[in-house]
Amino acid sequence: MDGQERGRVGLSNFGSWPHYAGIALGLPNYWYPATWSKRVGRRPLRIELLGEAIMLRREAGKVYALGDICPHRGVPLSMGRQEFPGTWSCVYHGWTFDLETGIVRAALTDGPQSAVCGRVRVRTYPIAERAGIVFLWMGKGPPVPVEDDMPDEFLRPDSVIVGRLTIRQGNWRYAAENSVDEGHAAFLHRYHSLWTKFTRMAGWIVSLQGGDRRGDWVVRTADEIGGVGEFPGLGRWPKFRFWNRAPGRVTVSYRLPGNIRVAYGRYNHYNWYMPLDRERHHYFQFLVAQGNWLQRQVFRLRYWLYRRWLFHVRLNNQDSRMVRLMPETEPAPLYRPDASIAAWRRLCEEARGETV
Amino acid sequence: MDGQERGRVGLSNFGSWPHYAGIALGLPNYWYPATWSKRVGRRPLRIELLGEAIMLRREAGKVYALGDICPHRGVPLSMGRQEFPGTWSCVYHGWTFDLETGIVRAALTDGPQSAVCGRVRVRTYPIAERAGIVFLWMGKGPPVPVEDDMPDEFLRPDSVIVGRLTIRQGNWRYAAENSVDEGHAAFLHRYHSLWTKFTRMAGWIVSLQGGDRRGDWVVRTADEIGGVGEFPGLGRWPKFRFWNRAPGRVTVSYRLPGNIRVAYGRYNHYNWYMPLDRERHHYFQFLVAQGNWLQRQVFRLRYWLYRRWLFHVRLNNQDSRMVRLMPETEPAPLYRPDASIAAWRRLCEEARGETV
Amino acid sequence: MDGQERGRVGLSNFGSWPHYAGIALGLPNYWYPATWSKRVGRRPLRIELLGEAIMLRREAGKVYALGDICPHRGVPLSMGRQEFPGTWSCVYHGWTFDLETGIVRAALTDGPQSAVCGRVRVRTYPIAERAGIVFLWMGKGPPVPVEDDMPDEFLRPDSVIVGRLTIRQGNWRYAAENSVDEGHAAFLHRYHSLWTKFTRMAGWIVSLQGGDRRGDWVVRTADEIGGVGEFPGLGRWPKFRFWNRAPGRVTVSYRLPGNIRVAYGRYNHYNWYMPLDRERHHYFQFLVAQGNWLQRQVFRLRYWLYRRWLFHVRLNNQDSRMVRLMPETEPAPLYRPDASIAAWRRLCEEARGETV
């Protein structure tokens, strides 16, 4: 018996995703949360996003983003210095670029009449700051409004937003799939985790279609929630302890370009998976809630006291370990709960093209 | 003068070995000593052998070996846990495999009726435990009796077996060649080694045919043993000191899939070279002797007191250094003592095929 | 606007260099300063030059250079030992090579009549020692006189030569280009350097032809030296402080195979860039001056007291950082001061061929 082959046959209703293999470096025509606003100052910050090196820098309160490779000899512009306001000079020969347009305004070491002026350009990226976060438009065409690519509640004045930004191993698609995947939580997160220790977690949650479309979001719906099962020839699973309490209702939704929301009722948890290169991704985690000033401070306090460590660090590190170990080999024999992964891949097939 | 070219012409009687280049990852249809029995317990042990990742685990006294990649998402099974006796569950989604057959008996997070059950399988490897060692059959067909692939004396009740298992750099074939090679001992091991310091080592040992076939073994026979030579234009070599004593008679034999025996008279030294991947190999060293209970304890004591450090560590590390540095480039201009290497390569051409 | 494209068009008069891309491993038919004489003794010194591994060793006052790979099994000869005067034996099987010719004089472990004798050879390299430096001829044909490939003043009896030999990241060609490049000094070395802090450095130095040929040397001539410029829309640059003093006249010259001289008047600074492999190069720096015995001691003292640290270490490390970061991608949009780089590349097109 060729198990691999038979497994695929038994689940062949999943179809295939022609473009999915080609987006290892992500979907360009979207806004991405690049970093926290407070991390961008006068000294350049170099980041890598969708395989491109980008230099972020704030001048006179505004954030600018330039491609971080000097077109002359290829050294990183982020090593350079400011000689004149509104410009940035490469450390090597003093080629001086306009922060707004990326055009060379002077090649200082060639004197004032240099023929290079106005004729060479480095790529610039549209920038927007919202809710204490720097968003970057990675497309080549004109950007859509940044509000189109962020959840509405990020903009509400009574929202409190806390979170964590890290670089993790593994391709971003598998990180997104792990997040969308309804099967892993019931097993991977059941053990070795303080966050779920007191929860009566379902044994299985199956969403036959993988999710319903609601505007930009796909909402994962549960067609079957399994408590405890009697497995033929094996026995009952899962085993509950007296301290396991029934959990609240959790709803998982996701949308392009790789943003997952887990609604816990009193607050929402957001993940953004953004390719750095083929083997690594940026992982931006947020908890968002609404309330008056005091409630917001309490929420912030609880995040830093335990939610950050138990949920965003320890629980989500269980996910990271899986994403890091998942090999880049497709297709695997999917099983019924992978319907949500199939739905996510279908969604990627509809990704936004070049904006005009 | 193109030395490389002339050297080959002068020694062109060695012929060539068409299959030898293709077995960088070893000969599959053999039993291999994977590890010491006492190292395999309830917690999985992951090893890599012949380029394959394998999880070893003992349950109810019996050792099982599964391919260490879950067929679902590719994460290592050895990270998993036991949910039911006789099975092993993947850490990620709880796919639960039968230890004996490798067949999926439950996909826990899909509920008791999962369509995956009985339809997906992970590879299992036949296992045998003998003489405190776990042997693994790496072929795809049914295994030969494990006794066929181990020296008889490993099974004698009056034998004592001590040894050492390490991972070393370099392809396994060059490690085996170094062991078979009759030329290197007389030079490499003559210097910087306490083990040989008091021995009157021969200057050269030449076996014109490289060895005689005796059953599964090829026994290297010495057609010429050189004491001290007068080298034209150079002088006498080797130089002996008064403390060098005549050595005992040593016989070197070897057989597939890479097992070399050095018979010292009072005990035998065995080496097994087993590919881990193309650049590394497992190196299993044994000293084996026979005797009554007291003699066996004394042998064990002498091993741990000095033979291990002087022979298995320091002397054999001289070999490891050579194997690590040998480039993967063929053919080299062989010389007369390399007849034993040629014989070893010829032997590899006759390796066991798929068993039926 | 495609900046990259436009930049190239605006500077298209630079032409192209068909052979330049092919000399990533250097120009073979030249003498190279391999190391300081005092570093070569009886114990072998392994170096890598132009992608070749070479063993240097001194016997009876004379330095010998052998290819550092035994033709038998490929292990480094430099791990070997001396058994007979005038020869060197491989550590592995005792193949014994003549230091002068590289021919095998004995394969010790094959006895005195080995068929390998006189039939296998390892490459030897012509060696010359001058001015406390070991020079190596890397060509396959007979060498030119070593004096042809070294500056005359290295041989003067009243010269004092001090310097530093390091291994640096990046291809040797970009290291040489950085040295020849007249544009970078005015920007890169203006900041963060104690060596230039008190100097009134020119804003730009432009040599329209890149240099004049004077014998083996190309001398970079300044057609335009810019003090302070008024850059349209930006302002004045550079800014001087009261402590910046006018510098002395500096002349930069260069010649094959990658030797740059910076003449400061009272002493000369020499750089040799020699490929180790494609990604690294040897960097030999010298300061050379003339004087009587006392002046030479004072020069030596000043070098070790501050010139070495401020100039050869800290200032030239600014260059190294650029060379390391320069990507191996061509062509870039060059600008006017890059005329000297174009001239250097043209010079490489005329490199010495096989000597007969």
Q: What is the pLDDT of residues C165-215, one digit of tens each?
A: 999 999 999 999 999 998 999 999 999 888 888 888 889 988 888 889 999
Q: With an 8 Å Cβ cutoff, are A112 and C231 in contact?
A: yes
Chain C residues inside the 8 Å CB shell of B331: none
* pLDDT (0 to 100) of residue B330: 60
Structure tokens at A127: 């920038």
Return the pLDDT at B249. 80
pLDDT at residue B329 in the model: 67
Weakest mean pLDDT among A205-209, A230-234, B38-42, C15-19:
C15-19
Name the stretches of chain B with pLDDT < 50: 1-14
Look at residue C7 and tell me whether its pLDDT is greater than 80.
no
Interface of C with B (CB under 8 A): 69, 71-76, 79, 81, 83-84, 87, 89-96, 102-112, 114-116, 119-122
Chain C CB contacts of A91 under 8 Å are 187-188, 322
**Most C-contacting residue of A92, A98, A101 (CB-CB within 10 A), to test interface:** A92
State the pLDDT at residue C45.
98
Cβ–Cβ below 8 Å for A332 and B87: no
The identity of residue B16, as a single letter, is S
Give the separation between CA C150 and CA C156, rounded to whole angstroms. Answer: 12
Closest CA to B281 of B293, B269, B296, B271: B271
pLDDT, mean of residues C150-167: 97
The confidence band for A11, taking pLDDT boundaries of 50, 70 and 90, is: very low
pLDDT of residue B11: 32
Minimal CA separation from B105 to chain A, in Å? 8
Looking at residue B8, its pLDDT comes to: 35
Chain A closest CA to C277's CA: distance in Å?
21
The residue-averaged pLDDT of A331-344 equals 85
Residues of B with CB under 8 A from a CB of A: 69, 71-76, 79, 81, 83-84, 87, 89-96, 102-112, 114-116, 119-122
Coil, helix or strand for B39? Answer: helix
Q: Which of B79, B89, B104, B108 to mutate to test the interface with A (most CBs of A within 10 A)?
A: B108
Residue type for B112, please? P
Q: Do B84 and A329 touch (CB under 8 A)?
A: no
Nearest-neighbour CA in chain A from B86: distance (Å): 9
CA angle A49, A146, A258 (to 5 degrees): 50
The pLDDT of residue B331 is 58
d(C-alpha C187, C-alpha C335), whole Å: 15
Q: What is the mean pLDDT of chain A?
A: 91
Residue A356: per-residue pLDDT: 61
C352 CB-contact burial (10 Å; exposed 0-12 / middle 13-18 / buried 19+) = middle
What pLDDT score was predicted for residue A1? Answer: 34
Q: Do C186 and A81 touch (CB under 8 A)?
A: no
Q: Do A3 and B71 touch (CB under 8 A)?
A: yes
Note the pLDDT of residue B119. Answer: 93
pLDDT tier, C3 (very low <50, low <70, confident <90, very high otherwise): very low
Structure tokens at B149: 């692939």
| Prior bond of C257 cis (ω within 30°) | yes
Q: How confident is residue A5, by pLDDT bands cut at 50, 70 and 90?
A: very low
pLDDT at B211: 87
Between A22 and A79, residue with greater pLDDT: A79
Angstrom distance (rounded) from CA C205 to CA A302: 62
DSSP secondary structure string for all residues of B234-253: TEEES---TT-BPPPP-EEE
CA angle A179, A146, A175 (to 5 degrees): 15
**Do residues C105 and B233 touch, judged by C-beta distance below 8 A?**
yes
User: What local confidence, expressed as pLDDT, does residue C1 receive?
Assistant: 34
Comparing CA positions, the residue from C246, C248, C249, C230 lying closest to residue C238 is C230
Q: What is the pLDDT of residues A267-290, one digit of tens each?
A: 999 999 999 999 999 999 999 999
Which is more confidently placed, C197 or A348? A348
Which of A164, A162, A159, A133 is closest to A289 using CA atoms? Answer: A159
By mean pLDDT, which of A112-126, B150-164, B202-216, C281-295 is the weakest? Answer: B202-216
Instruction: Please write the tens of the pLDDT for every residue from C48-82.
Output: 999 999 999 999 999 999 999 999 999 999 999 99
**3-state SS, residue B210:** coil
What are the start-end ranges of the E strands in B188-311? Answer: 204-206, 212-214, 217-219, 224-226, 229-231, 235-237, 251-255, 259-263, 268-275, 280-290
ipTM of predicted complex: 0.92
The structure tokens listed for A54 are: 């980008």
User: What is the predicted pLDDT for the residue at C330?
Assistant: 60
Among C187, C188, C334, which would you mutate to test the A interface (most chain A Cβ atoms within 10 Å of its Cβ)?
C187
The model's pTM: 0.91
pLDDT, tens digit (0-9, with 9 covering 90-100), for A71-99: 999 999 999 999 999 999 999 999 999 99
pLDDT of residue B14: 38
Query: Residues B96, B87: contact at Cβ < 8 Å?
Result: yes
- pLDDT above 70 covers a percentage of chain A that reads 94
